Amino acid sequence: MSKTNRIALATPTRREAIFGLGAGLGSVALSSILQGAAPIGVHHPAKAKRCIFLMMEGGPSHIDTFDPKPELTKQHLRAFTRNGDMESAMSSGNRYFVKSPFKFVKAGESGADICTEWKYLQSRVDDICFFRGGQVDSVNHPTACYQLNTGNQFGGDPAVGAWVTYGMGTSNENLPGFVVLPRSSYPQGGAGNWSNGFLPAGFQGTPLRPEGSPILNLNPPPGTTALQQRKNLDLLAQLNQQHLAAHPGRSDLEARLSSYELAYRMQTEVPGVLDLEGETQSTLDAYGIGGTKTDAFGRKCLMARRLVEKGVRFVQAYAGNWDSHDYIQKAHGSLIESVDKPIAALLGDLKDRGMLDDTLVVWCGEFGRTPDNGMRSGGQSYGRDHNAKAMTIWFAGGGCNAGHTIGATDEIGATAVEEVHHIRDVHITLLRLLGLDDNKLTYYHAGRFKQLSQFGGNVIDKLIA
């Protein structure tokens, strides 16, 4: 009997048998993804089939976007003292209340509060559910990004998109189930923000490069025919399968085999998806493509629409530099301008195509910002620090409670006080809208069944229509 056969027929150890209870599901899930089937299946009737996650890295200020605080105007430049009283700002060592430099309006039939810098999104607020009760644990960018994206402050766990594709699979075998559109430099924490963690490696996010070829080496070398490629892959698969048989339970080897096949299929599908030449000029203009400030994020939003339209389950698009510790009027004003038109176009485009009802769009950063900050440059550069206890997250489409504002922060925006929920509950609600139950969407790892929320939580019922 050959060595390979002896391995295949050997009685599994107790450790291997226990591991197989969880890891076997991963193998089935990975195989199913590549066949276009849902590996786990939804646990509830799904309101959304797919998700586009708009990540504003750096921590946008809720106070200066969607949560106006008139009390801050009254207290502007008044300082805190140690006993909690406020006094006129006379010394440079104190921290001061800072009013928003922007005006707000009540937009749409829902009367949603929105900063006037959002010139285009104002027309879409009735499709949006604003949630003001979110909280996280960390005010450090890398740990907060990890927690927002994976549920774990310290990284190493699967990203939300990995969990979603593990649960639902992809509906297009020629494309990854989870695609990431990062900015030119990766967010703080790097690729760990879209990691597969302890899930099989095939569930990690596939980042598309923002400049140049979106995927390196996507096209075959000159002179290589499809038949030659197929024969090379078949030989490579035969050798890799023998290696895998000698190393059971290695999901990275499984993923390597699968990635070669997926890359082969992507050569025919991806170029068409990523080529925007087929879009009308009016569509390109609507997304701000060609605009000095809107081109970069406009392309990401249009690409996100095209990807989900082709069957990608989860797309995450990044916009960075929201960490406005000073000059918030200039910084946030410019950032809002860069994403406003593209996001409004995305929502409108999805709605016009009949896709918004079953596409969940989420907008947020890793935390909110404080109502106060120190003054710099002679008091002309007001900004805000990090705030883990108050933030605005909004949802559109996908069965969310559109046209409503849920939760509230206190009168100065320092902390959430109504409908207060940790980010784990936001994750659980996102999964629920996609038909997934956080308590059932588990994976056996390190001696226990793990889940996105870490240890459970609650659906935010008011966010669901």
Say what the pLDDT of residue 148 is.
Answer: 98
pLDDT digits (tens, 9 = 90+) for 167-181: 998 888 888 899 999
State both tokens at 172: 């297009």
Q: Which residue stretches of 133-183 are H helix?
A: 141-150, 160-168
Tokens 């996908």 correspond to 398
Say what the pLDDT of residue 7 is.
Answer: 30
| Alpha carbon distance 458, 79 (integer Å) | 38
**DSSP code for 453:** T
408-409/416-418 β-pairing: antiparallel
Length of the chain in residues, anyone?
465
Comparing C-alpha atoms, which of 294, 292, 309, 387 is closest to residue 349?
309
SS3 206: strand
As a whole number, mean pLDDT of residues 67-80 equals 90
pLDDT digits (tens, 9 = 90+) for 292-335: 999 999 999 999 999 999 999 999 999 999 999 989 999 999 99
Count of CB atoms situated within 10 Å of the CB of 290: 12
Count of CB atoms situated within 10 Å of the CB of 227: 8
Comparing C-alpha atoms, which of 202, 194, 209, 206 is closest to residue 159?
194
| Alpha carbon distance 241, 155 (integer Å) | 31
Per-residue pLDDT at 198 exceeds 60? yes
Distance of CA 409 to the CA centre of its chain: 24
Q: Which residue has the higher pLDDT, 161 or 215?
A: 161
As a whole number, mean pLDDT of residues 191-209 equals 92
Comparing C-alpha atoms, which of 412, 400, 355 is closest to residue 127?
400
* Cβ contact 332:65 at 8 Å: yes
What is the pTM assigned to this prediction?
0.84
As a whole number, mean pLDDT of residues 75-101 equals 65
Burial class of residue 293 (count of CB atoms within 10 Å of its CB; 0-12, 13-18, 19+): middle
What is the pLDDT confidence band of residue 369, given thresholds at 50, 70 and 90?
A: very high
Say what the pLDDT of residue 251 is.
Answer: 62
Rounded alpha-carbon distances, angstroms, from residue 219 to 229, 234, 264, 276, 385: 11, 18, 9, 18, 46
Which amino acid appears at position 163 of this protein? W
Rounded alpha-carbon distances, angstroms, from residue 269 to 237, 368, 390: 22, 39, 42
Q: Which residue has the higher pLDDT, 225 or 448?
A: 448
pLDDT digits (tens, 9 = 90+) for 229-285: 667 767 777 777 787 788 776 666 666 666 666 666 666 666 667 788 889 999 999
Per-residue pLDDT at 36 exceeds 80? no
* Cβ contact 382:326 at 8 Å: yes
As a whole number, mean pLDDT of residues 413-433 equals 98
* Cβ contact 57:51 at 8 Å: no
| Alpha carbon distance 73, 75 (integer Å) | 6
